[in-house]
Amino acid sequence: MTTHNPQTLAWQALSGEHHLAPFSDYKQLKEKGPRIITKAHGVHLWDSEGNKILDGMAGLWCVAIGYGRDELADAASQQMRELPYYNLFFQTAHPPALELAKVVAEVAPEGMSHVFFTGSGSEGNDTVLRLVRHYWTLKGQPQKKVVISRLNGYHGSTVAGASLGGMSGMHEQGDLPIPGIVHIAQPYWFGEGGDMSPDEFGIWAADQLEQKILELGVDQVAAFIAEPIQGAGGVIIPPDSYWPRIKEILARYDILFVADEVICGFGRTGEWFGSDYYGLKPDLMTIAKGLTSGYIPMGGVIVRNEVVKVINEGGDFNHGFTYSGHPVAAAVALENIRILRDEKIIERVKSKTAPYLQKRLRELAEHPLVGEVRGLGMLGAIELVADKQTRQRHEGLGVGMICRQFCFDNGLIMRAVGDTMIIAPPLVISFAEIDELIEKARLCLDLTLEAING
Ligand code: PXG
């Protein structure tokens, strides 16, 4: 990237000299320097070179209500002046956390009226692991410890989060997963479905859960955790047959079901939660991201009343974070949820903008580089292939990264997960901005095709 603003180079130098970035290739980062994002409004970002960029990823899947809402800044500022910090430990509490717990319970699926707050989604899933084991111990079955998860699922980057997740690159760094966590196949038909139809494959993938439960013995299994739609794995929307079959299996065995709603929660599917969209009945739900629209860090675990009843009988739960239910974060979350409700943002996604985005996105399926376009709500994926029929990839070319770079250079942020391009724009994206997103994506697909054809 050629720079015009001397300040850009100065900031890039600071990056090399002092900063260790999350999820980055350090060697590459040192050579090229990061793009410096300096401000944002609505669905757009500006970098330090003055380029305006459409944020097709809502930050990292989180900026539901869009950037630049003064109400959230005001809520934070007011709360900082009133009570900037206090904790929820040892029999104390404060109004913002309690009021937020009530509001979260109002939007959560029926029968889930308690929430444990954390600072992030990863901490939420650490909490899940502690909670489900604590639950079974209290139920007199302390040997029920194993959590079944899925390959290529993402559940965070702490030791428990990365262990629950099924990302091989993360497991390799740090001897993960920790004991007591096992993984089954993911319902990724496009990548792994072979000659099966999507529905046949969905049944096959769901049946892996039952096989694993039987192999381990149900008396050993504490829970199954899954994202309703895998986000970081590549916007993997299970075949229609998958969730109904999983529900049948879960009904047969006495294990807990944890829906990781960190990405799907707070409206991304056009419902409050992915579990609402698929009619799932989770015992626990991990939340973060859309809870505060990313304006401030916060996560949590929403817990079904039957589970709460058991842990309420259990005395001390020896778990918690300094920033659990942080008052400023809670005040921001309250304001964020107020805006989502009052402005009927999720209803608008469901009835208007998501159908339009999905219709326009599918126009890209005609492109010679595209093997499949899938999407739901404000989520989309575009599979880049060499052969549309066989779904064969352009092996070894790094087509996804090439396309991602063209996007960046042409004012659009689209993520590449291997050769899958993904989008998750802010929920407030307008029709005209959806048009802008699609036209830019089409241009970048053209440029990518040109580049790989030499
Ligand atoms: N669960 C899910 C489903 C997530 O997507 C987490 C848990 C962890 O949340 P925290 O707040 O601890 O980051 C996430 C986070 C990516 C990417 O590459 C996705 C996430 C985080 C970082 C990168 O798309 N999701």
With bands split at pLDDT 50, 70 and 90, how would you rate the model's confidence at 3?
A: confident
**pLDDT at 1 (0 to 100):** 59
- Is any atom of ligand 1 closer than 6 Å to the C-beta of 231? yes
Residue 243: burial class (beta carbons within 10 Å; 0-12, 13-18, 19+): buried
DSSP string, 150-189: ETT----SSHHHHHHS--HHHHHTTT-SPTTEEEE----H
- Is any atom of ligand 1 closer than 6 Å to the C-beta of 121? yes
Mutate to test the pocket of ligand 1, among 120, 289, 301 (most ligand atoms within 8 A of CB): 289
Helix axes 431-452, 399-409, angle to 10 degrees: 130
Q: H or E element: which one contains 417?
A: strand 415-417
Quote the CA–CA distance of 236 and 187 in Å, as a whole number: 7
Quote the CA–CA distance of 276 and 353 in Å, as a whole number: 19
**Ligand 1 centre from 441 Cα, in Å?**
24
Asked whether residue 175 carries a pLDDT value surpassing 80, the answer given is: yes
**Ligand 1 centre from 295 Cα, in Å?**
15
Instruction: Of 331, 272, 235, 294, give the one whose Cα is nearest residue 66.
Output: 294
**Ligand 1 centre from 387 Cα, in Å?**
31
Atom of ligand 1 nearest to the CA of 230: 3
Provide the token pair at 9.
Answer: 């180079």
Strands (E), 107-159: 114-118, 146-150
Asked whether residue 2 carries a pLDDT value surpassing 80, the answer given is: no
Atom of ligand 1 nearest to the CA of 122: 12
pLDDT tens profile 95-107:
999 999 999 999 9
- Is any atom of ligand 1 closer than 6 Å to the C-beta of 155? yes
pLDDT tens profile 399-441:
999 999 999 999 999 999 999 999 999 999 999 999 999 999 9
Average pLDDT of the chain is: 97
- Is any atom of ligand 1 closer than 6 Å to the C-beta of 354? no
**Ligand 1 centre from 121 Cα, in Å?**
7
- Is any atom of ligand 1 closer than 6 Å to the C-beta of 47? no
pLDDT tens profile 58-74:
999 999 999 999 999 99
What average pLDDT does the segment 137-155 reach? Answer: 98
Mutate to test the pocket of ligand 1, among 61, 159, 164 (most ligand atoms within 8 A of CB): 61
3-state secondary structure of 195: coil
- Is any atom of ligand 1 closer than 6 Å to the C-beta of 263? yes
**Ligand 1 centre from 307 Cα, in Å?**
25
What average pLDDT does the segment 170-185 reach? Answer: 97
Alpha carbon 58 to chain centroid, angstroms: 11
With bands split at pLDDT 50, 70 and 90, how would you rate the model's confidence at 185?
A: very high
**Ligand 1 centre from 82 Cα, in Å?**
31
DSSP 8-state secondary structure symbol assigned to residue 94: -
Quote the CA–CA distance of 425 and 378 in Å, as a whole number: 6
Provide the token pair at 371.
Answer: 């093997």
Asked whether residue 122 carries a pLDDT value surpassing 80, the answer given is: yes
**pLDDT at 386 (0 to 100):** 96
**Ligand 1 centre from 288 Cα, in Å?**
9
